[in-house]
A and B are shown apart, each in its own frame.
Chain A
Amino acid sequence: MLDGKPPGERIPILKMGEFLLVTIQVEMHDRLVMTLQDELTYQIVQHRARGVLIDISALEIVDSFIGRALGNIASMARILDAETVVVGMRPAVAITLVELGLSLEGVRTALNAEKGMALIRRRLGRTGELDGAGS
């Protein structure tokens, strides 16, 4: 990573079988979201991921830029043929996005990570237990 960045300034992308897990645990700012966009698209291609789950349950504040960027990231992942689902959005965040006119059309959503994973597996036609390995 670039020098001078504190250790918390990076959003981890976890690979679990053919899925990628992104959990946003820090407040987003513009540069962070651009870094995430770069890394996620790179890793989807590298790992040939079929599903991406983005957990934003810790995200409390969004502005129009972050909201749009989240939608863009989800759309990019889908173009790369990975089923993408955004999970855990807080009510306040949902209301803010809708009021901003960002209803994130075309982005799949789920209430929590468990439901999100079930949704991805259903879309991919996977069955079986939610072991996360998927193979």
Chain B
Amino acid sequence: MVDRQSRLAAIVRQHESHILANWIDLLAKSGSRTLDRAEAEHHARAFIRLLVEAMEADASGKIDGPAWAKARDMLAGLSASRARQGSTPTETATFVFSFKEPLFARLQQEYRSDAEALARELWTATLLLDRLGLFTTEAFQKSREDVIARQQRELLELSTPVVSLWEGILAVPLIGTLDSERTQVVMENLLQRIVDTGASIAIMDITGVPTVDTLVAQHLLKTVGAARLMGAECIISGIRPQIAQTIVHLGVDLGGVATKATLADALVLAMGRVGATVTRTATRA
């Protein structure tokens, strides 16, 4: 096994320039739409060099060893950069798979007289390149998942501000669907702000919540309950006509929670509760 594998490395090293030239021609012909020739050549050259180095260092054919770290990094980087440029995973993996053609052609010439050895070497090379190709797909997927996870986190932070409206009055403008994870974040933020500011009233504005079903209502009531345990009263505002209809049709009991149609109404109510009044000093023009 060791013997055979190292022969593969030796063959590639010996005929590197020839194989490389063939491969680059092939890549140019296959017409990868997002890559120009110079870039493909650069990648191909780097790949062959790292491949030979890795094969010479670790001939076991397992690409997760330390000897393959450089080759893995290179492929992962290639995958990530191509993903950013809008390539599909297939196109990226094809880069690796397409190396088979020039390599096999070379092997055929080497083992012209020994069919058994040829088959063996072909099999070894196929296994190796398949693993590398699949690795690029995995790397591609992983970079995409990282992006999704980051966006999810950002969305969660973006959408849950707690605003101080007046002395002792907080507002929570909720935007987007209220699932249990977001409820948790909203609740924690709100309760912490209640402690920090000593607020006695919190207005939860649901203008930006697209639909209120029983689950969303339950989450709202949970938040109201938690705020009440901390000694703060909650007002729910921003209830659109459709939402009011849905709430009643679903039979959701909002209990003793004060509700207002708009945030403005809620603010007036809240200011009354904290003992402040708003007066107009001049008539509007």
Contacts and interface: CB of A to CB of B under 8 A. Distances in A.
Given A94-B191, A115-B200, A89 B222 contact: no
A64 to B, nearest CB: 14
Contacts of A104: 229
Contacts, number: 55
Interface in A96-130: 97-99, 103-104, 109-112, 115-116
Interface string A73-97: 0000000000000110111011101
Contact of A91 (B222, B228, B230): B230
Contacts of B152: none
B20 interface: no
Interface size bucket, B side?
A: 10 to 19
A77 B160 CA distance: 38
B188 A95 contact: yes
A118 B200 CA distance: 13
Contact of A95 (B191, B195, B200, B232): B191
B226 A111 contact: no
B89 interface: no
A94 B222 contact: no
A98 B225 contact: yes
Contacts of A112: 198, 231
Interface string B212-255: 00000000001101111111100000000000000000000000
Contact of B194 (A86, A93, A111, A116): A111
B195 A91 contact: yes
Interface in B171-228: 184, 187-188, 191-192, 194-195, 198, 200, 222-223, 225-228
Contacts of B223: 98
Contacts of B191: 91, 94-95
Nearest to B195: A91
A94 B198 contact: no
B229 A111 contact: no
Residue among B188, B192, B230, B232 with max Cβ neighbours from chain A (10 Å): B230
Given A109-B230, A115-B231, A91 B192 contact: yes
Contacts of B229: 86, 89, 93-94, 97-98, 103-104, 109
Given A111-B200, A111-B231, A95 B226 contact: yes
Contacts of A86: 229
Interface residues of A, number: 19
Contacts of B192: 91
A61 to B, nearest CB: 15
A98 B227 CA distance: 10
Given A111-B198, A115-B200, A89 B225 contact: no
Contacts of B198: 111-112, 115
A116 B230 CA distance: 11
A91 B230 CA distance: 7
Contacts of A110: 231
Contacts of B200: 111, 115
Contacts of A97: 226, 229
A103 B116 CA distance: 78
Given A94-B191, A111-B195, A111-B198, A87 B231 contact: yes
B188 A109 contact: no
Cβ-closest 3 pairs across A and B: A91-B191, A103-B225, A110-B231
Interface of B: 184, 187-188, 191-192, 194-195, 198, 200, 222-223, 225-232
12 contacts: A86-B229, A89-B231, A91-B188, A94-B226, A97-B226, A103-B229, A109-B229, A110-B231, A111-B200, A111-B230, A111-B231, A112-B198
Interface of A: 86-87, 89-91, 93-95, 97-99, 103-104, 109-112, 115-116
